[in-house]
Structure 1
Amino acid sequence: MSDTTTRPEPVRLDDLAAPRFSPEARAIVDGAAAFADAVQLDAAALMDQACEATGLDDFGPMDFVERLELLVWCLEHEGQRSPMGKVSAASQLGQLLQNRLLLQHLLTRHPEIHDVEIAAPMIIAGLPRTGTTHLHNLISADPALRSLPYWESLQPVPFPAEAELAGTPDDPRLARTEGALSMLDVIMPHFRRMHDMTTWHVHEEIQILAMDFSTMLFETMAPMPTWRDYYLAHDQRPHYEYMKTVLKACQFLRGGDRWILKSPQHLEQFGPLIDTFGDATVLVTHRDPVSVMISMGTMLAYSARTSQEPVDPKAIAGYWADRLETMLNAALRDRDLLPAEQSMDVRFDEFMADDLGMVRRIYDLADQPMPPESEAALADYVATHQRDRYGKVIYEPEVLGIDVAARRTAMRAYSERFAIPDEPW
């Protein structure tokens, strides 16, 4: 599939507002919807169900309950959940609550986890569609580094009854992740053109930030301005500390030494990020903001078919174009909070022109060795993961209602500060 001559033809996603499902996808959507009336999207009910599923009842610090209650309210009143969306939201929140219970159970049995050191991580802070996924996966191909695979991000701590299978091919978390991804491949067959996901695909730590119910991740479930405003109004340092504790638990359970991490949320949280990981090397990725808005708006409008009804591509894209402006302006404002000797700006065009050369520069900055085995692993990843290997998506800003000229003008200060070239639109 790596040969460019075998790549699928580009596709135009002309059903964003009125999704067309294959018979197999329709069966999945209708099957999930059949359970919607029985779902209780209620904080107390979700917590009770998580306790029943795990046999545990200690969630750790209980300050999260206020945030969970607000999130549930936002999903009900602002999220425009479809029947399947209601089921998936309850499932997602339920899993996060189970993860809290499982983490606290592990910490109670092994308090020495708090003494685990997360030493000098390399952290990518950049918006989706700016090369972060390729950079993250490329560096993660180095066997000397520790990363967070998708299955582990979904359930970092195993159920006690499954603990003996952890670290083996029979770990049930692997099969559960495979099943969920297979279902999404049927419902969203073109999603991998925009963002490839596999069980072992390296994922973002924003998924474990969600265990403390304070993250912008929930905004990807649906535009929720009340949740956005609440999250932005609160200091995120306690939640970054919680995330660090989860990483310590992951390291305790599966080993590893130096982490390579990534999340777009870090762009608007440079203060909490560097206060929590004081010896981190932070890599700030940059691309033409208009390209990011169009690409991300398309991706989220496409994925909304799994959860929202009706789907309004212009509302989704408009919300996220505004949201990305907020994030990038925060990065512009706070960039100098990152120590110069511990940070680097990575331009998309320069990275795409010489990805291995950029990684060498990053390793030099981070004082990370690159022995022959690491260099070979990185080169092999590049050789087998060409860009657009699953085919391209044709992006259309007019379908999303994005005014290219106005958005470009609004972000001119950001683009000039980081010398980001405009892409043709």
Structure 2
Amino acid sequence: MSKPQDIVFDDLGNPKLTFLQKLALGGSKNAKVNLDKESILTSAKEATGLSDFGGDDFHEPLEVLINDYVSDDGLSGVGRQQMFKDLVRCASNHLIIQDRIKKTPELATTELKKPLSVSGLPRSGTTHLVNLLAADSRFQSLPLWVAQEPFHAPGKEKASGGLKFGARTLARFLKSGDSLSNDDPRYLRCSARWSGMQIMGPDLAAMHPMNPDHIHEELELMTFDFGCNQFEWTSMVPGYRDYYFKKDQTPHYEYLKTVLKLLQIERGDDRSWVLKCVQNPEQLLVLKSVFSDATAIITHRDPVAVIQSTATMIAYGHRILRLSVDPRLVLNYWTDRIEALLKACVRDRKVWGSKQSMDVMFHEFMAGDMQTVEKIYDLHELELTKKARQEMDDFIKAHPRGKYGRVRYHLEEHFGVRPEEIRERFDFYYKAFPVKIEV
């Protein structure tokens, strides 16, 4: 196997745009985007053929989000279009799920079997861990294409010829590895979105691949109720962030649980779920309340390394979503954000007792992922069978670290901040968890 290619950004703050990036930004510059609630909800109704949202509790968070987007004069035309598409997709899913709730009487008696829940800082190994665990066929999980669109709208179960041709042509051209035989329109749309992301951000796969088959996090399901911090990852939404902090997130976790039950019924599958969510560390009390019998695995990493990686990834995405890139602004936002998340994690960690939870240090997991898995299975009281080991070994061989290249991060060069300036803010976290200092 060849050595992973190093990816070094020398243009994070002043992007050197590709021809296609310039074309997309230029073509969308004067595009009219109706970022208002009525346009979004009407578009969702037209897309699904449904009209019953099941109440208007989601209107308030949606309005807060829209206000942030409209007030943000730094969004590019592509950014405005993307925010509109995302909100329409979320509202469409809300309609479809409400329709499923009405048509599924067995929902009231359906239970989830002792989920295995991975929680942790972004960029702390959660993606690799959940995909590794999900390789065990005794679990059911949430591939991205299902997370983004759990159910079909009534009468829209078949893909058009144009969708099949377009999605597969892009997948072949980009050699993305996406399935060329899955005819589900939800899969094809997810594949097309991933192709678009690769075209607009060629190095994104090295930081966080978003191919349809990779196991994603259930946070995506909460976006349909407009209640989670996922929206912070795609745009600058300080108003929504503050709104989120003030609100009890229990209703949104209950909504998540309902969607998982609906999926379980749809699949005719009562296997335990393996889940993953980077929001959970700041919602441990809510997680415990809603998923009381879960086994909680909480990953930890040097916050400076996490912030460096997170800020680099988001600043890279800003070259297409925003009119200009301000790396220091991104770094400051996410330093504050991760500090708030970790303070909540340290404060509430004890709500999950040692018989039901464990902490995983990133450096230990990277040094021996299967040793970590063995400890998790012991805690979860599940035998790590020969078959499960083989399934995980097959996954590791197919997904070597650095498969898409290795990003080389430079905190001082890219963001003008020394590691010590950030580290001193996280003394409370270093005292609570023995993470290895990386930067």
- Same fold judged by TM-score > 0.5? yes
Partner of 2:176: none
Partner of 2:320: 306
Match of residue 24, structure 1, among 14, 20, 23 = 20
Residue pair 2:53, 2:98 contacting (<8 A) in 1 also: yes
Match of residue 394, structure 1, among 401, 405, 408 = 408
Residue pair 1:122, 1:281 contacting (<8 A) in 2 also: yes
SS at match of 1:160: coil
Supply the AA of the counterpart residue of 2:219.
Answer: I
Identity of aligned residues (%): 38
Partner of 2:177: none
Q: How does 1:76-95 map to 2 (within 5 A)?
A: 76-78=70-72, 80-95=74-89
**1:405 and 2:420 equivalent?**
yes
> Comparing 140-149 with 414-423, which one deviates more in the overlay?
414-423
CA distance in 2, matches of 1:280, 1:377: 23
Q: Cα–Cα, structure 1 residues 157 and 332, in superposed 2: closer, same or farther, change >3 Å? A: same
**1:136 and 2:133 equivalent?**
no
Partner of 1:339: 353
Match of residue 14, structure 1, among 7, 10, 24 = 10
Partner of 2:337: 323
CA distance in 1, matches of 2:302, 2:213: 30
Residue pair 1:290, 1:407 contacting (<8 A) in 2 also: yes
Partner of 1:209: 222
Match of residue 207, structure 2, among 194, 197, 200 = 194
CA distance in 2, matches of 1:103, 1:73: 25
Q: How does 1:143-222 map to 2 (within 5 A)?
A: 143-163=137-157, 169-222=182-235
Partner of 2:96: 102
Residue pair 1:126, 1:284 contacting (<8 A) in 2 also: yes
Give, in angstroms, the shift of residue 402 of structure 1.
3.3
1:94-124 deviation line (CA, Å, top 9, x unaligned): 0000000001111111122232211211111
Give, in angstroms, the shift of residue 310 of structure 1.
1.8
Give, in angstroms, the shift of residue 400 of structure 1.
1.9
1:342-379 deviation line (CA, Å, top 9, x unaligned): 10000011111110111011011011232221111011
CA RMSD of aligned residues (A): 1.6
CA distance in 1, matches of 2:371, 2:324: 45
SS at match of 2:355: helix
SS at match of 2:157: helix
Q: Which runs of 5+ in 1 are unaligned?
A: none
SS at match of 1:411: helix
CA distance in 2, matches of 1:245, 1:401: 45
Supply the AA of the counterpart residue of 1:418.
Answer: F
Residue pair 1:318, 1:401 contacting (<8 A) in 2 also: no
Supply the AA of the counterpart residue of 1:69.
Answer: E
Q: Which runs of 5+ in 2 are unaligned?
A: 160-180
Supply the AA of the counterpart residue of 1:244.
Answer: K
Q: Cα–Cα, structure 1 residues 79 and 290, in superposed 2: closer, same or farther, change >3 Å? A: farther
Partner of 1:275: 289
Partner of 1:72: 66
CA distance in 2, matches of 1:272, 1:220: 21
Q: Cα–Cα, structure 1 residues 306 and 254, in superposed 2: closer, same or farther, change >3 Å? A: farther
Q: Cα–Cα, structure 1 residues 268 and 79, in superposed 2: closer, same or farther, change >3 Å? A: farther
Supply the AA of the counterpart residue of 1:226.
Answer: G
Q: Cα–Cα, structure 1 residues 171 and 13, in superposed 2: closer, same or farther, change >3 Å? A: same
1:296-323 deviation line (CA, Å, top 9, x unaligned): 1101111122312222111011100110
**1:371 and 2:385 equivalent?**
yes
1:12-66 deviation line (CA, Å, top 9, x unaligned): 21222232232233334444445x31x2100122111111211111112311101
> Comparing 228-237 with 380-389, which one deviates more in the overlay?
380-389
CA distance in 2, matches of 1:218, 1:265: 11
Partner of 2:264: 251
Give, in angstroms, the shift of residue 223 of structure 1.
2.5
**1:119 and 2:140 equivalent?**
no
CA distance in 2, matches of 1:33, 1:161: 35
CA distance in 1, matches of 2:258, 2:26: 39
Give, in angstroms, the shift of residue 224 of structure 1.
2.0
CA distance in 2, matches of 1:162, 1:368: 39
Partner of 2:172: none
Give, in angstroms, the shift of residue 153 of structure 1.
0.9
Residue pair 2:158, 2:183 contacting (<8 A) in 1 also: no
CA distance in 2, matches of 1:56, 1:422: 52
Give, in angstroms, the shift of residue 79 of structure 1.
6.8
CA distance in 2, matches of 1:79, 1:364: 52
Segments ≥4 residues shifted beyond 6 Å: none
Residue pair 1:318, 1:400 contacting (<8 A) in 2 also: no
SS at match of 1:162: coil
Partner of 1:60: 54
Q: Cα–Cα, structure 1 residues 33 and 120, in superposed 2: closer, same or farther, change >3 Å? A: farther
1:116-175 deviation line (CA, Å, top 9, x unaligned): 21121111111121111110110011111111001011111112123378xx82111111
